[in-house]
Amino acid sequence: MSCPAPSRHTKPSAEDCVTGFVDLRNVRLSYGGASSATLALEDLTISVAKGEFAAVVGPSGCGKSTLMKLATGLIRPNAGTVEVAGHEVDGPVSIAGMAFQNPSMLPWRTTLKNVMLPLEIVQPHRKRLSRERSRYVSLAESLLELVGLKGFGEKYPWQLSGGMQQRANLCRALIHDPALLMLDEPFGALDAFTREELWQVMRDLHAEKQFTTILVTHDLREAVFLADKVFVMSARPGRIIETKDITFARPRPIDLTYEAGFNDVVHELREHIADARAAA
Amino acid sequence: MSEDRWIKLAPWIWTIGLFVIWESAVRMFDIEVFILPAPTDIWQAIVKYWSPIWKNSLQTLWTTSLGFLMAVVGGLALGLAIGWSRNIYAGLYPLMIGFNSIPKVAVVPILVIWFGIGTVPAVLTAFLIAFFPIVVNVATGIATIEPEMEDVLRALGAKKLDIMLKVGIPRSMPYFFGSLKVAITLAFVGSVISETVAANSGIGHMMLAAQSQFNVPLVWAGLVALAVLGIAMYAIMALIEQKMTGWAHRSTAK
């Protein structure tokens, strides 16, 4: 590891350590009982630097979603270590925001109230919420505006299209200003045009807020367009078989995705995955 | 007239049609009144015995409502507990299935031993029979929280109580209010069963007394009174359901 030994005068902290913001080292995870255990991840090592946008791709069933649960502390590894922001994860990390393919908006709440749900859970917002409600409401409204949902706050989720619900879902994941954003195929269920629109929304959100992001996806173009770094996972038990730095200059225009250089990268990743599937 | 208006009128037309067919069939085939009284005979009985029908209806309505209210409170509480804890669920569910499969009329003699004949066994029978659908529905509503939603909240550090208050309980409300319609109908079954077996007032008792005197139109008048009470209570429950959980209907109506 490139983490220097702490000097005797300073306590070790995230700043001293130049390893990643999210670090999974030699992680192993199996599901089920001792006799019928399924090995989901084996000797998996990933490091994502602060502010970096990482994408994880791989054949289906390779444990990508398990990775998300590990990094947010929802499950614990059987072996190896998981560190987020310089601390070993021993329970849910409240600095993370999550968004899944299913927008899972609560139908009895307006979009604005759905977006504000994490504020009712996470400290210190939770205790401030009732006193500073108007400030938080305008925060939520400006976030909705940023994703193109200005004026939709009072609508109920069922009044929004799938793409709009997914935008609101992103807002909900970001409302408490998380240092880490975890996305599990958030655009998977959308049509191609809406998906490209949301890629750009995501690109702009990341450019503005600079949160560390881990995007789990099986869409290689999505991974290459959005990420600084793409991890390719093997078939189960999942390991990282390739790490690819994506060096296209930011801000990236959507037209980039139709250029030859872009397609070369996508192609290269695709071959890695084809190999991983063949090996399985 | 537009089709919508016909659809609105349809329940009335069909009901009136049924009574007209009934009446004409009785007259045409000259059916004896103690086999099947005509609607007009029943109506005469209702007018003639209005005072006892009214008093006994109030008694039945009172025992049913009381049992139903107990079932609502108890069912909601137990449903939340079962939805909350997998341990409580695993332990209690088989017991409840077993208990629910006992015909409630078989419990009435025990209730009579404990409480004597009268209002108390009727209330308790109504409670016992109406309780189960409420428990099952509330527990189902809580148990079917989307796992993604739970993950999102747990990753934020939400405690079990947070998840229940923010998601589980609101989510189970459409199930709960939906179950009230079933429960109120069952509560009538319970109270009338108990009244027929062991009571000295209520519609069930009145019908039994009328039967023993071969006053068949009054027996049928009792049935009509029960139907009216049942429909009225059902309508009230449906209205409450609509008012309380309109969001659930709107979200599927789209």
SS3 of A57-101: ECCCCCCHHHHHHHHCCCCCCCEEEEEECCEECCCCCCCEEEEEC
pLDDT at A2 over 70: no
pLDDT at B32 over 50: yes
CATH number of B51-245: 1.10.3720.10
pLDDT at A237 over 80: yes
**CB–CB contact B158 A121 (8 Å):** yes
**CB–CB contact A156 B251 (8 Å):** yes
pLDDT tens, A123-161? 788 888 888 888 888 888 888 988 888 888 888 988 888
**Higher local confidence (pLDDT), A258 or A12:** A258
Q: Is B247 on the interface with A (CB under 8 A)?
A: yes
Six token digits for residue A186 = 């958030």
Residue in A74, A100, A176 closest to B154 by CB? A74
Nearest-CA neighbor of B118 among B204, B211, B195? B195
**CB–CB contact A117 B247 (8 Å):** no
Average pLDDT, chain B: 90
Task: Please state the rounded mean pLDDT for residues A236-256.
Answer: 86
Report whether A220 contacts A57 (CB < 8 A).
yes
What does the alpha-carbon distance between residue A264 and residue A4 come to, in Å, rounded to a whole number?
Answer: 38
Domain boundaries, chain A: 1-6+14-95+181-280, 102-178
Provide the 8-state DSSP code for A182: E
Chain A to chain B Cβ contacts (< 8 Å): 70
pLDDT at A5 over 60: no
pLDDT tens, B158-202? 888 889 999 999 989 989 998 999 999 999 999 999 999 888 899
Q: Is B151 on the interface with A (CB under 8 A)?
A: yes
Give the contacts of B60 (CB within 8 A, at least 6 positions apart): B122, B188, B191, B192, B195, B202, B203, B204, B226, B229
**How far is Cα of residue A170 from the mean position of the Cα atoms in its chain?**
11
Residue B110: band (very low, low, confident or very high) from pLDDT cuts 50, 70, 90: very high
Q: Is B170 on the interface with A (CB under 8 A)?
A: yes
Task: Please state the rounded mean pLDDT for residues B138-167.
Answer: 87
What pLDDT is attached to residue A189?
Answer: 81
> What's the ipTM?
0.76
Residue A48: strand, helix, or coil = strand
Question: Between residues 227 and 246 of chain B, which touch chain A (CB distance below 8 Å)?
Answer: 245
| Single-letter amino acid code for the residue at A139 | L
Residue A11: band (very low, low, confident or very high) from pLDDT cuts 50, 70, 90: very low
- Residues of chain B contacting A91 with CB distance shorter than 8 Å: 157
Provide the 8-state DSSP code for A123: T
- Residues of chain B contacting A96 with CB distance shorter than 8 Å: 155-156
Give the chain B residue nearest A173 (alpha carbons).
B152
pLDDT at A15 over 70: no
Residue A12: band (very low, low, confident or very high) from pLDDT cuts 50, 70, 90: very low
Nearest-CA neighbor of A140 among A162, A163, A110? A110
Q: Is B41 on the interface with A (CB under 8 A)?
A: no
Nearest-CA neighbor of A105 among A52, A147, A158, A152? A158
Give the chain B residue nearest A93 (alpha carbons).
B155
Per DSSP (E only), the strands in chain A are: 22-31, 38-48, 53-57, 79-84, 87-88, 96-100, 180-184, 212-216, 229-233, 240-245
Residue in B146, B155, B251 closest to A92 by CB? B155
What does the alpha-carbon distance between residue A231 and residue A235 come to, in Å, rounded to a whole number?
Answer: 13
**DSSP codes joined into one string, B185-208:** HHHHHHHHHHHHHS-SSSHHHHHH
Report the predicted TM-score, pTM, of the whole model to 2 decimal places: 0.77
What does the alpha-carbon distance between residue A276 and residue B101 come to, in Å, rounded to a whole number?
Answer: 55
Give the chain A residue nearest B174 (alpha carbons).
A108
- A interface toward B at CB cutoff 8 Å? 69, 72-74, 91-94, 96, 98-100, 102, 104, 106-108, 117-118, 120-123, 156-159, 172-173, 176, 182
**CB–CB contact A106 B167 (8 Å):** yes
Residue B128: strand, helix, or coil = helix
What pLDDT is attached to residue B89?
Answer: 86
**Higher local confidence (pLDDT), A63 or B113:** B113
Residue B155: band (very low, low, confident or very high) from pLDDT cuts 50, 70, 90: confident
**How far is Cα of residue B171 from the mean position of the Cα atoms in its chain?**
23
Q: Is A51 left (phi over 0), alpha (psi -120 to 50) or beta?
A: left
What pLDDT is attached to residue A239?
Answer: 85
**CB–CB contact B247 A94 (8 Å):** no
Q: How many CA atoms lie within 13 A of B183 on its CB side?
A: 33
- Residues of chain B contacting A69 with CB distance shorter than 8 Å: 151
The torsion angles phi and psi of A25, rounded to 5 degrees, stand at -120, 120
Average pLDDT, chain A: 84
What pLDDT is attached to residue A3?
Answer: 45
**CB–CB contact B247 A74 (8 Å):** no
CATH number of A1-6+14-95+181-280: 3.40.50.300
Residue B146: band (very low, low, confident or very high) from pLDDT cuts 50, 70, 90: confident
**CB–CB contact B155 A176 (8 Å):** no
Q: A18 vs chain B: nearest CA distance in angstroms?
A: 26
Give the chain B residue nearest A94 (alpha carbons).
B156
pLDDT tens, A43-88? 888 899 999 999 998 877 777 778 888 888 888 888 888 888 888 8
Residue A33: band (very low, low, confident or very high) from pLDDT cuts 50, 70, 90: low
Per DSSP (E only), the strands in B30-69 are: none
pLDDT at A9 over 80: no
What pLDDT is attached to residue A8?
Answer: 41
Task: Please state the rounded mean pLDDT for residues B200-223.
Answer: 92
What does the alpha-carbon distance between residue A153 and residue A141 come to, in Å, rounded to a whole number?
Answer: 7
Q: What residues form DSSP beta bridges with A238?
A: A41
Q: What residues form DSSP beta bridges with A183?
A: A99, A215
Residue A16: band (very low, low, confident or very high) from pLDDT cuts 50, 70, 90: very low
User: Which helix (H) or strand (E) is B59 found in, with range?
Assistant: helix B50-84
